[in-house]
Structure 1
């Protein structure tokens, strides 16, 4: 038997193409005090993968603590330092070339408490979560800041559970008692 590609695979492969994102041609979008750009919106992978590049200004708190019900994330820092937090587990300061992986249901947040802006590339699998950035941008409008309430409202629309302060304390207690 010869090594041949079956007809179905051959036909399907003809509908595909290599994806190419040239960041120099993708403008930064403003989301309050943060900037982002979508490098892969998920359309090319049937929404299995989304990729976002984010710029966090110095002394920025980042999103509220939250966890995702349906997607994993990775964060690859390319500039500055980003602090990744998980209640009861402390934090990790990641610099250029370092990768952080956040599995489904792990409470987390990130911040930039440092004096230099930070940039990272973030993947979401599945990739529908990239729409969160666009929705939050629409919710805050021009010139507004990302507030805790707006952040929590936007997260809830994308299978993400924002944590109240009480919920954060509960996670910290559970981890401390292990």
Structure 2
């Protein structure tokens, strides 16, 4: 095959039989090696737990067992706990599954949105939010502005997933800085300090650009 034809094939997506055979073989070798199932059990002494002021974060999967394709944490927020600043992720898909209590989940006033139960939409058009409760599930794709808090007089808990898993390290660093702020009597963490960490993991404040 000539160099010109190879270049054209790379642009148009045309592949020859040898290329297909080689790439398929590599993929087969990568994914057919048997791997162990990982169990994360309640009360496990090895479970990484981060206590940050009124929040408790359990690192369930930091990507070390999934080649960083998937990560998950369990978060518990005490009553009347502020949340993070408004943000959007350039690279991460993230989901929230509420397991206890309620959260106030803020969304962008300019972005399209959907909700199976429209009664959960707030009246505020300037800063729309939804009250989500145990059993509710939220999917946040890249470039979706969001944040949340717990303004209620009851504890809230949720499962938070990240694809890919790299943002788990951002959570660890934010937790470390937040705990320092708590120790110094200046909770919550200054927004600019949060942003400094988030930007390292392609997470930014509004607007999306």
- In structure 1, C-alpha distance between the alignment counterparts of 2:40 and 2:197, rounded to whole Å: 26
- In structure 2, C-alpha distance between the alignment counterparts of 1:85 and 1:39, rounded to whole Å: 25
1:152 aligns with 2:195: yes
**TM superposition shift of 1:7:** 10
- In structure 2, C-alpha distance between the alignment counterparts of 1:113 and 1:7, rounded to whole Å: 51
* Native 8 Å contact 2:59 2:73 kept in 1: yes
SS at structure 2 position matched to 1:155 = helix
Which aligned runs of 4 or more in structure 1 are off by greater than 3 angstroms?
6-15, 140-144
What is the CA RMSD across the aligned residues, in angstroms?
2.3
Q: Which has the larger radius of gyration?
A: 2
**TM superposition shift of 1:66:** 0.3
**TM superposition shift of 1:33:** 2.9
SS at structure 2 position matched to 1:76 = strand
Tell me: CA distance 1:23–1:154, structure 2 relative to 1, closer, same or farther (3 Å).
farther
Tell me: CA distance 1:10–1:17, structure 2 relative to 1, closer, same or farther (3 Å).
farther
**TM superposition shift of 1:12:** 4.8
Tell me: CA distance 1:10–1:156, structure 2 relative to 1, closer, same or farther (3 Å).
closer
TM-score by length of 1: 0.80
**TM superposition shift of 1:34:** 1.6
In structure 2, runs of 5+ residues without a counterpart are 1-24, 110-124
**TM superposition shift of 1:106:** 0.6
Tell me: CA distance 1:103–1:11, structure 2 relative to 1, closer, same or farther (3 Å).
closer
- In structure 1, C-alpha distance between the alignment counterparts of 2:77 and 2:168, rounded to whole Å: 17
**Equivalent in the alignment of 2:119:** none
Equivalent positions of 1:23-172 (< 5 A) are 23-25=42-44, 26=47, 28-88=49-109, 90-142=128-180, 143-144=182-183, 145-147=187-189, 148-163=191-206, 167=207
- In structure 2, C-alpha distance between the alignment counterparts of 1:46 and 1:146, rounded to whole Å: 33
Tell me: CA distance 1:67–1:36, structure 2 relative to 1, closer, same or farther (3 Å).
same
- In structure 2, C-alpha distance between the alignment counterparts of 1:11 and 1:133, rounded to whole Å: 29
* Native 8 Å contact 1:156 1:162 kept in 2: no
**TM superposition shift of 1:31:** 2.2
Tell me: CA distance 1:131–1:122, structure 2 relative to 1, closer, same or farther (3 Å).
same
* Native 8 Å contact 2:48 2:59 kept in 1: no
- In structure 2, C-alpha distance between the alignment counterparts of 1:125 and 1:50, rounded to whole Å: 6
